[in-house]
Amino acid sequence: MSSHVVSFLQWLHNTGFSAWLRDSMWAEPIIETIHVLTLTLFFGFAVLLDLRLLGVALRSRRVSEVLNQLNPWLIAGFLVLIASGTLLFCGDPVAFYSTIFFKIKMVLLLVAGLNVLVFSSTIARKLDEWDLDSRTPAGAKIAAIVSLVFWVAIIAAGRAIAYALPPP
Amino acid sequence: MSFLSHFLMWFCQWCDDSFFGAGVRNSVWLFPFIEILHLIGLGVLGGTILILNMRLLGFRFRAEPVSELAKDVQPWMRGSLALMLVSGFFLFSSESVKMYGNPGFRVKMVALLLAIIFTFTLHRRATISDLDDRTQVWPKLAAVISLALWSTVGLAGRAIGYVGR
């Protein structure tokens, strides 16, 4: 299994596209800047949503309103992060894969995604019952805390990848 | 001008020689740890500034007055700004003499000063006044200026690592 992954990444590394990303003077700085600045949009809005789910901020607003207002931007930000992150990975796939932090980050992302799925298929289904409550139910608070903890860890792991990669 | 550059150079040298500057510089873990705090502050600060400006521009949360949203997010904006300033200062202190000559850092500091002054004076007035935003140009203009200033801070900050090699 693992050797298939490595040979695939080796193949990816040898493509012209990967070489272009690696050798271009502007590709990496521009993509990385987009990745980091989009983080402000995504993480900032995720924190605002989580604070509403915790009943700490935006308390006078309906949860459904906060969700509706923030969701389109959260989804757009997430897509930009995935796209720019994939491009950064493609520029040096073997080195990324060889760092432990990259693997940790992928597992953390998976759990953060599962958290969204669990939230939207359980407690968010009964949103009508607690939409206006400034004191939110325990399920919503747990989802918010899991989200905050995992996104902070994802940022930390992402930053650690850059430290673990060999210098350019 | 020469007095200012002398003073700034002296200040950078003093930070560089200080126990905290040397502490961050000589530690393997402190710089990355503080940098992650800086990034988390960036996320929250960026998110609160974006949502307020989107409201001023009329994109989001149109149902309620601007001042309501401002009251809700301002504590988080100030808290994350404080986190960024403190963590940023310690990152700076570990390599402050190098930063003195870094063009990215210089642009960032000037833009940061302007952004902070603007945020707590004219921008703040736009967020607490509840002008009818369909007819008033000023709230929208304040949002555009705020976004431009803070984007400059972010982009110049990102550039520090690239122009100083």
What is the pTM for the complete model shown?
0.89
What pLDDT was estimated at residue B135? 64
Which residues are CB-neighbours of A78 under 8 A, at least 6 positions away?
A42
User: What is the reported pLDDT for B131?
Assistant: 63
Largest CA distance in chain A: 55
**ipTM for the predicted complex:** 0.85
The whole-number pLDDT of residue A156 equals: 93
Tell me the mean pLDDT in the region A23-30: 90
- Asked whether the predicted pLDDT for residue A1 surpasses 70, the reply is no
Residue A59 has pLDDT above 90, yes or no: no
Q: Do B35 and B92 form a contact (C-beta atoms < 8 A)?
A: no
Chain A residues with CB under 8 Å of a chain B CB are 29, 32-33, 36-37, 39-48, 51, 57-61, 65, 69-70, 73, 152, 155-156, 159-160, 163
Of the partner residues B50, B51, B162, the one whose CB lies closest to the CB of residue A29: B162
pLDDT at site B61: 78
pLDDT at B110 over 60: yes
Cβ atoms within 10 Å, residue B30: 16
B133: confidence class by pLDDT, cuts 50, 70, 90: low
- B18 vs B132, which has greater pLDDT? B18
The nearest CA of chain B is from the CA of A9 a distance in Å of 27
Question: From the CA of A69, how many Å to the nearest CA of chain B?
Answer: 6
Q: How remote is the C-alpha of A9 from its chain's centroid?
A: 22
Angle (deg, nearest 10), helices B138-163 and B103-118: 160
B84: Cα within 13 Å, side-chain hemisphere? 21
Quote the CA–CA distance of B32 and B13 in Å, as a whole number. Answer: 22
Nearest by CB to A37, which of B69, B75, B154? B154
A76-91 pLDDT, tens per residue? Answer: 999 999 999 999 999 9
Q: Which residues of B touch A (CB under 8 A)?
A: 32, 35-36, 39-40, 42-48, 50-51, 60-61, 63-64, 68-69, 72-73, 75-76, 151, 154-155, 158, 162
Interface-testing mutation among A48, A70, A149, A154, with chain B (most B C-beta atoms within 10 A): A48
Q: And the tokens for A60? A: 């006078």
Distance CA B133, CA B62 (A): 10
Mean pLDDT of B21-33: 91
Average pLDDT over residues A24-53: 91
Interface size A-B, in CB pairs within 8 Å, comes to 87
pLDDT digits (tens, 9 = 90+) for B31-53: 999 999 999 999 999 999 999 99
Give the mutation candidate from A24, A28, A34, A40 for the B interface (greatest B CB count, under 10 A): A40
- Rounded to an integer, the average pLDDT of A162-167 is 82
Alpha carbon distance B104, B160 (integer Å) = 5
Task: Please tell me which residue, A61 or A1, carries the higher pLDDT value.
Answer: A61
Give the residue among B118, B162, B163, B114 at the shortest CA–CA distance from B141: B118
Residue A33 half-sphere exposure toward CB, CA atoms < 13 A: 17
For chain B, how many helices (H) and strands (E)?
A: 8, 0
Q: How many residues does chain B have?
A: 165
3-state secondary structure chain A: CHHHHHHHHHHHHHCHHHHHHHHCCCHHHHHHHHHHHHHHHHHHHHHHHHHHHHCCCCCCCCHHHHHHHHHHHHHHHHHHHHHHHHHHHHHCHHHHHHCHHHHHHHHHHHHHHHHHHHHHHCHHHHHHHHCCCCCCCHHHHHHHHHHHHHHHHHHHHHHHHHHHCCCC
- pLDDT at A42 (0 to 100): 94
Of B47, B151, B162, the CB nearest to A48: B47
Q: pLDDT at position A38, please?
A: 92
pLDDT of res. A145: 95
Closest C-alpha among A21, A31, A114, A68 to residue B63: A68
Band of residue A132 on the pLDDT scale cut at 50, 70, 90: confident
